[in-house]
Structure 1
Amino acid sequence: MVMLDKQGRRYLCFLPKEEEVASGWKTSTMQNISTVLMETDKQMKLKTPDKLLQPLNEKCLVRQEGWWSYEFCHLGSVRQLHIEDGTKIVQEFSLGKYDPEATAAFNQNVSDVSTMKERYHSHIYTNGTTCDLTGTPREVEVRFVCAETRAMVTSITELSTCKYALTVQCPTLCKHPLFQLEKPVSHTIHCNLIPLEESATRNKEARVVGESPKDTDS
């Protein structure tokens, strides 16, 4: 194809052919991939997600959203707090304690495809403070995602009444290729300057082709 630069010079450019990448992952839908990790880890000899999350052991992360603060302690508990004067807790709800059995069952039975735009590994926290609206204990799904920055809680969402999803980004999880975000593919376009004489010839030919035949009858 022919392209023009800022000075009006004409270039003949060659666009690369789009190559279809043979991959089992789709960029438009992300997955909870905990269910496929066991076999993959055997083949690739990689650390499991839980081992990659070990730097979070005995650590607590806090996120403030307006009136409430949310405290996540890895393999411990998740709390919803209202704090005054920087340290004084005036209101507190437990969103759950780490439940290894519920976590194993969840990751075994969860659907492969999710509307989440990130690949994540889940832990389930159960038996939180009883919910006034449902009469059942609060619970939260903690979703660990790959991020190159520091470990932190990035969001808290109420999926249904007193059931929450808390997202935690963790740099060490990026060491597992299945959790790495797919990067956009860039292509190089090669262009050659069309000499002025050749460009003029092309323009003349284009005008000739576009002209209507003249009437020879007089």
Structure 2
Amino acid sequence: DPRPYNGSGVAELLRPMGTAPCLLKTKDWWTYEFCYGRHIQQYHLEESEIKGDVLVLGYYQAAFDWGDETGKASKQQQLRRYHSQSYVNGSRCDLTGRAREAEVRFLCEEGAGD
């Protein structure tokens, strides 16, 4: 029987990210900028300068609510092994004509326990 977790909640553990600098990740041509609770952007950097358009992948909308009944059931059944945030109303996609959107998932390290 697993022991119940009595530590800090997900929102409390992530709170320091709200005042932390944005996270950057460059993969091939694109640099991705994730600003917790604010926005996600993508752009091309050359010699530390942005070249071309800045594409907004989404603005923060909401985080999964672990306090509601659905969240409690999901947590108890351990169906969700991540915490998610929704980012919406980004730049218009040329292919679909719709605003870009993204989901950010915070995962626990595999094998680290609950």
* 8 Å Cα contact 1:122/1:141 also seen in 2: yes
Deviations 1:128-171 (A, max 9, x none): 00111112110010011234xxxxxxxxxxxxxxxxxxxxxxxx
Indicate which of 25, 47, 57 corresponds to 2:8: 47
1:73 is the counterpart of 2:31: no
1:122 is the counterpart of 2:51: no
Q: Using structure 2 for the length normalisation, give the TM-score.
A: 0.74
Q: Out of 79-88 and 69-78, give the one that drifted further.
A: 79-88
| Percent identity (aligned) | 36
Deviations 1:13-57 (A, max 9, x none): xxxxxxxxx55xxxxxxxxxxxxxxxxxxx744321111012211
Q: Using structure 1 for the length normalisation, give the TM-score.
A: 0.41
1:182 is the counterpart of 2:111: yes
**Unaligned 5+ residue runs, structure 2?**
none
Bigger share in helix: 1
RCO higher in structure (CA 8 A, sep ≥6)? 1
* 8 Å Cα contact 1:84/1:90 also seen in 2: no
**Unaligned 5+ residue runs, structure 1?**
1-21, 24-42, 148-180, 184-218
If you compute each CA radius of gyration, which structure gives the higher value, 1 or 2? Answer: 1
Indicate which of 47, 63, 72 corresponds to 2:25: 63
1:140 is the counterpart of 2:102: yes
Bigger share in strand: 2
Show structure 1 runs of 4+ deviating over 6 A: none
The CA RMSD over aligned residues, in Å, is 2.6
